[in-house]
Chain A
Amino acid sequence: GDSVTQMEGPVTLSEEAFLTINCTYTATGYPSLFWYVQYPGEGLQLLLKATKADDKGSNKGFEATYRKETTSFHLEKGSVQVSDSAVYFCALSAGTLTFGKGTMLLVSP
């Protein structure tokens, strides 16, 4: 069945550091790919998405590119802020959403 694998956390960074959170997937067909973010005490929010190979999703300084050849959708940000501290979920959809286990990001001043 479909599955998503994310790097384990927590990822601990200083403010203004470069962020990469790895995500790979297994799916039949051509799923859409998503990154969701969950801030403490809140529900999940869609951060960005890509619906076909080579698409780049971007939002709030975060980017991820749909790489079909490596079945990856890594999340990147050039300069993280303390307010980016949250749990990040990679997900795919080929009918229903399948989530990874989540990666906690902790950014210190």
Chain B
Amino acid sequence: EAGVAQSPRYKIIEKRQSVAFWCNPISGHATLYWYQQILGQGPKLLIQFQNNGVVDDSQLPKDRFSAERLKGVDSTLKIQPAKLEDSAVYLCASSSTGTVSYEQYFGPGTRLTVT
């Protein structure tokens, strides 16, 4: 079974530029998550999708971050414009349901450096 795929793996941009990350979850997984992991900290949930609807985006900085999950499969996370403090690893995860105890499967992440 293929795991969660993310691209690109690394990205370096200057502040005020825009960037987009892509995630392909495990086939059949209805729930998709985007996390931000700043160096030395644990991952922080940015947004959760159930199929193509948003379940929780309370911690997403909506003035600069946006995410979509068209057709309930792949997802894209965008930052526009980027700030220095957005430097982090962006993790995508998926699970078969949204039930609290169900395992989330994580992708390898995209490491973003904003200079």
- In B5-60, the 8 Å CB interface with A consists of 33, 40-45, 48, 56
Separation of A31 and B101 alpha carbons in the complex (Å): 9
Closest to B103 in A: A46
Interface size class of B (residues with CB under 8 A): 20 to 34
State the Cβ distance, B12 to closest chain A Cβ, in Å.
18
> Are A44 and B91 neighbours in the complex by a CB distance under 8 Å?
yes
Shortest CB-to-CB span from A39 to chain B, Å, is: 10
Selecting from A12-20, A71-79, A91-99, the interface stretch reads A91-99
Complex CA gap A7/B73 in Å reads 37
Chain A residues near B (Cβ < 8 Å): 4, 31-32, 36, 41-46, 49, 51, 89, 91, 93-97, 99-102
User: Can you list 11 pairs linking A and B with CB atoms under 8 Å apart?
Assistant: A32-B101, A41-B108, A44-B91, A44-B93, A44-B106, A49-B101, A93-B100, A94-B100, A95-B56, A96-B45, A100-B42
